[in-house]
Copies of this chain bind each other. A is one copy, B any other.
Amino acid sequence: MSTREELIALVESYLDDLALTPELGGLEEPVRYAVAGGGKRVRPLLCLATAEAAGADPEAALPAAAALELVHSFSLVHDDLPALDDDRVRRGRPSTWAQFGEGTGILAGDALLAEALRLALTYPTPAVARELVQATLGMIGGQYLDITGSEPDLAALHRLKTGQLFSAEREQAPWRAFADEVGLLFQIVDDILDEDGYLIERGADGARALADETAERAQARLTEVPADTSVLAGIVAGLAARTS
C-alpha cells in the first residue's frame, strides 16, 4: 500500500513528464504554468488512493488522475478570467491570464480541457472519458449558476461545481457515496477558509459542525468498502483539518 506522500510524488512526476500534444506549440508554457501552480492534487490523490484500495495498480490510474487535475486546472484558468471571477492572483503568483494575457488564458484553458480528455481516452474503454466529460459538463453548469447568481441552493451548486469531479472516479455505488461526501466536505472547508457559502449560511460553528459530520459520514462509507482504505481515511482526516 502506497502512502499518501508516495501517491502525490507519483502524480507530480507524471504531470512533470507529461508530453503535451506537439501542435499546442507555444501554448505549452501557459498550460504547464497552470498545472504546476502548487495545487494540493486532492483529486488525483483521491483517484490513485481509491484505485489502490480497490485493488488496482495506482500507476494504471495515473492518466485518469492527471486528467482530473487538468480539468480542475482548466476550470481555475477560465474562472480566474476578468469576465468571470477576475482573479489576478492564484496560489500566490499571477493567475494564468494575468501572466500570459487574456486571449492566451482562454486558449490555455481550452487546451487543458482537451488534453484532459486526450489522457482519459488513452484507456481502451471509453468509460473513463465518459465519466470525465459528464463531470465537466456539471461543473460548467455550476460555474454558470455561480456567475449568474441564480444558484438554487448551496448543496446543488456544490454538487455541480466540485462534487462532479470527485464522484467521477468510481462506478461502484459505495465509492460514489464516499466521493459525494468527500466532495461536500471539500466544499464546506473551502467555504470556511474563504468565509463564503456554508460559513455565511450557517455561521462558523455551524459550518464546522457540518464539516465534521460530513467527514464522519465519509469515514463511515469507507468502512462499508471491503478493502484497505487506511490511506483514504487519512486523506479524509487531512481534508477535514486543512487550513489552506
Hey, which bits of chain A sit against chain B, CB under 8 A?
21, 23-27, 74, 78, 81, 83-84, 101-107, 109-111, 113-115, 117-118, 121, 123-126, 129-130, 133-134, 136-138, 140-145, 147-148, 150, 160, 164
Contact = CB atoms under 8 A, between A and B. Distances in A.
B104 A133 contact: no
Contact of A27 (B27, B107, B118, B141): B141
Given A103-B147, A114-B137, A125-B126, 5 more contacts: A23-B138, A83-B105, A107-B147, A110-B140, A113-B114
Given A117-B129, A118-B134, A147-B104, A141 B21 contact: yes
Contacts of A21: 134, 137-138, 141
B103 A83 contact: yes
B137 A118 contact: yes
Task: Output the residue of A25, A102, A104 with the most chain B CB within 10 A.
Answer: A25
A105 to B, nearest CB: 8
Nearest to A27: B144
Contacts of A111: 137, 140-141
B104 A117 contact: no
A244 to B, nearest CB: 27
Contacts of A143: 107
A139 B242 CA distance: 40
